[in-house]
Amino acid sequence: MRIRTQIVMVMNLDKCLGCHTCSITCKNVWASRPGAEYMWFNNVETRPGPGYPKRWEDQEKYKGGWVLKNGKLVLRSGGAISRLLNIFHNPHLPIIDDYYEPWSYNYEELANSEEKEHQPVARPYSLLDGKYIDAPKWGPNWNDDLAGGTFTASMDPNIEKLQKQIALEYEKTFMMYLPRLCNHCLNPACVAACPAGAIYKRHEDGIVLVDQESCRGWRFCITACPYKKVYFNWETKKSEKCTFCYPRIEAGLPTVCSETCVGRIRYLGPILYDADRILEVASTKDEKDLYEAQLSLFLNPFDPDVIAEARRQGISDAWINGAQRSPAYKMVVQWRIAFPLHPEYRTLPMIFYIPPLSPILDVNGKDLSPEEYIPFVDNMRIPLEYLASLFTAGDTKPIRMALLRLIAMRIHMRKITVGDVNENAYNKLMNEAGLEPSQLEEMHRLLSIAKYNERFVIPTANRNPEKHLDIHKGACGFEEIGEYNYKVAPKDLRIRNIR
């Protein structure tokens, strides 16, 4: 057993306002340089919809993530020979129109224009070549709040899978917000695909970074990432991505997107996992079993044997204690109400989502009675099949259980505060949910009124690694060398050299 630590983020989609504050603050801190105009390390998508870049979930087109081939885990984009043959032409990259062409406006025309018969206009021009362009036609969350529209909703690959179950009539439309950032995966395809070994996963906290000095701009990382969260800087000719605000994490502070989130939907905490089982779990044959297999990777931080082995392997008590207090461990492992995004990509993502509940009202706008909650879950306005397509590779059972537990939490707290709950219906719901009242009360506190230090449990980093944490050289991935490119950043590495 090789115990590793990972900082995990959980997002409660029920509380997301779609305000994009997280995106703007991340943009201002990390991606406001020339060449990074179109980069949104964090973006909020309206679902159903095509996402950003357009249809990033269409892996038949973009070839992202891993697949099982003859029982062996390989990159969907091909092996080393395939990358070598396409090293000067990568055919599976999103084009600039799938993002948007960075532009600005010729404001000098307004300020310096001579007197004319007609009022001057500030025309948009491309920041790529400086030429005038037509009005912008696409961008991040261009379909903001338009999930019910047949044009944008029909572009969602998840909708295409469920055409028989989902109708797009106006009265049956549904909508949710989906914030996205790099998943800092346990089995990162971007790391495995990089010919230069420039992308690496840090040993001490699991953050995946790009070494700007080693990057050669081949862009195979962009193809391999199924979430399309690696970007190419057209000014520096280097790849960049979300850094998970690692300077803040090292200091015990949350990421900027978490710190500034208006809805307080984000939670951060460490999880212990067994790195020796990553290949086994990622190679799970049935896609629908990947979610449960991923959960089996996580270790119980209260287990005396795990604690003893973690200490023996050099993991500090601060991280062990952090894993015991981690809100991520409670939501993901203990309560099982948070799920990874598209586990079928086999990257083992470390960003988890609590699925949203539809408005719990009947047709007359009245609160549903407790007797109606269980049938309501099976007939939600946001279909279980759609949520399962996003979070559990199509398996609706875990999603249904999570939603039942979220409803049980609400009913239990209503019983405590108001008391007008039918006892038989209450007991039936509690039995179906499978959690104790004390767990529901703890869940309620964490999801609604938790303090800052309860939402963000981040041990400070140890920047003095032992000898067994030496830097590994070369590319990474089970397909190539069967060993992760865990790497500890040199102490004198400046922030500007990491993206």
User: Coil, helix or strand for 283?
Assistant: coil
Q: What is the pLDDT of residue 151?
A: 72
Helix then strand then coil, in percent of the chain rounded to 5, is 35, 15, 50
Two tokens, residue 207? 């953050």
The larger pLDDT score, comparing residue 35 to residue 173, is at 35
- Which of 3.40.350.10, 3.40.50.720, 3.40.50.150, 3.30.70.20 would CATH assign to domain 1-97+155-355+464-499? 3.30.70.20
In 106-153, where do the E strands start and end?
A: 124-126
For residue 333, what is the DSSP state?
I
What would the pLDDT profile of 34-63 be if each residue is shown by its tens digit?
999 999 999 999 998 899 999 999 999 999
Q: Which residue has the higher pLDDT, 323 or 421?
A: 323
Question: Of 82-96, 136-150, 329-343, which has the strongest mean pLDDT?
Answer: 329-343
Report pLDDT for 156: 86
Domain boundaries defined on the chain: 1-97+155-355+464-499
Q: What is the mean pLDDT of residues 148-162?
A: 77
Q: Does pTM top 0.85 for this prediction?
A: yes
pLDDT category at 421 given cuts 50, 70, 90 is: confident
Mean pLDDT along residues 261-284: 96
CA distance 359 to 361: 6
Residue 172 pLDDT class (50, 70, 90 cuts): low
| Percent with pLDDT over 70 in the chain | 87
368 pLDDT higher than 90: no
Percent of the chain whose predicted confidence (pLDDT) is above 90: 63
Question: In 10 A of CB 482, how many CB atoms?
Answer: 9
Task: List, in sequence order, the alpha helices (H) in 218-255.
Answer: 220-224, 246-250
